[in-house]
Amino acid sequence: MDSVLRELYQQVILDHQRSPRNFHDLHDPDRRAEGYNPLCGDRINVEIKLGEGGDLEEVGFTGAGCAICTASASMMTETITGKSPADVARLSDSFRDLVTGQAEAGDVEGTLGKLAVFAGVREFPIRVKCATLPWHTLRAALDNRRDPVSTE
């Protein structure tokens, strides 16, 4: 990864860790799920309020995660608010491909936008699950799965 992207990655992670967006419970959410990453100890709750057409009108998260998990959840909520569940599935697949190295940042940048900086996670394989936990949890909430999500 070039140094510009690495620096951007570090800045973005720090910014979102210090002031996570949408870091709160929702009033009367339509969907919610819990996620846990035993490798790191990240715990996260994702709540969703659905609009009339089934789009994600409001998304909030709470919990205690490491910097990568918190930043990933924060940026995820920013990106998906107002999107449809189909958009969310596409974004979530692209994000997974990006952080696991199955796609290059340039290939998925059009889809992921700012989330493309998470290509930086690849250099720390143990952190991949920290970055994907919020997305797993989000999809579990959308699918109405009752059991808490675990990355293991």
Q: Which residues bind Zn ion (CB under 5 A)?
A: 40, 42, 66, 69, 130
Provide, rounded to whole angstroms, the least separation between the CB of residue 39 and Zn ion: 7
> How many Cβ atoms sit within 10 Å of the Cβ of residue 18?
11
Smallest separation, CB 129 to Zn ion (Å): 7
CA–CA gap between residue 139 and residue 51 (Å, rounded): 17
DSSP bridge partners of 26: none
Identity of the residue, 39 or 50, whose beta carbon is nearer to Zn ion in the bound complex: 39
40 by Cβ neighbours in 10 Å (0-12 / 13-18 / 19+) ranks as: middle
Q: Which is nearer to Zn ion, 26 or 118 (CB)?
A: 118
Which lies closer to Zn ion via its Cβ, residue 60 or residue 134? 134
As measured in angstroms, the least distance from the Cβ of 99 to Zn ion is 13
Distance between terminal CA atoms of the chain? Answer: 28
- Taking the complex as a whole, how short is the minimal distance between the CB of residue 66 and Zn ion, in angstroms? 3
**Minimum CB distance to Zn ion smaller for 86 or for 126:** 126
CA distance 54 to 30: 10
Neighbour count for residue 116 (Cβ, 10 Å): 23
